[in-house]
Amino acid sequence: MKVKLDFVANSSSTSFTIAVKGDLSNESVLQALGVPEDSLLHSLAKSIADYMVGEAEVFDLDFEIRDYGYANAEEAKANRWLAKFIDLLDRGFTVYRGSASYNEGSATEQLIGNSSIKYEDENLIIRSGEN
């Protein structure tokens, strides 16, 4: 069994994942949120998309493999959390990770931090609120 040793804090944030085939863009995330342009909520959806794309960082599988103490990706598949990302990478997605506070930061950040977003099509996957 592999154990990840890390600083433990009383976290007040939630993580999100964006997996995309092609380039990550605010427009693609906004479109995935499904809020029509003429909706009163469109500006809020745009703020959510802007925040998520702005905070997202490319998932570094090699770093995570080393950090968890695995020798390679095949061995790391034993870890359910890492296996999800390895699967996405194997399917041709570029994977991004970010986080949002649910009690600090902007109203948009707190909304993301307190929400669960689940979207998937053949080119874009968005998950938040699943830590």
Are the C-beta atoms of residues 89 and 97 closer than 8 Å to each other? no
Which residue reads 């592999």 in tokens? 2
Beta strands in 13-121 (DSSP E): 13-20, 57-58, 94-101, 117-120
Sequence-distant (≥ 6) Cβ neighbours of residue 8 within 8 angstroms: none
pLDDT tens digit sequence for 24-81: 999 999 999 999 999 999 999 999 999 999 999 999 999 999 999 999 999 999 999 9
What are the domain boundaries of the chain? 13-117
Contact between 78 and 68 under an 8 Å Cβ cutoff? The reply is: no
pLDDT surpassing 70 at residue 90: yes
What angle is formed at CA 99 by the lines to CA 85 and CA 119, rounded to 5 degrees?
55
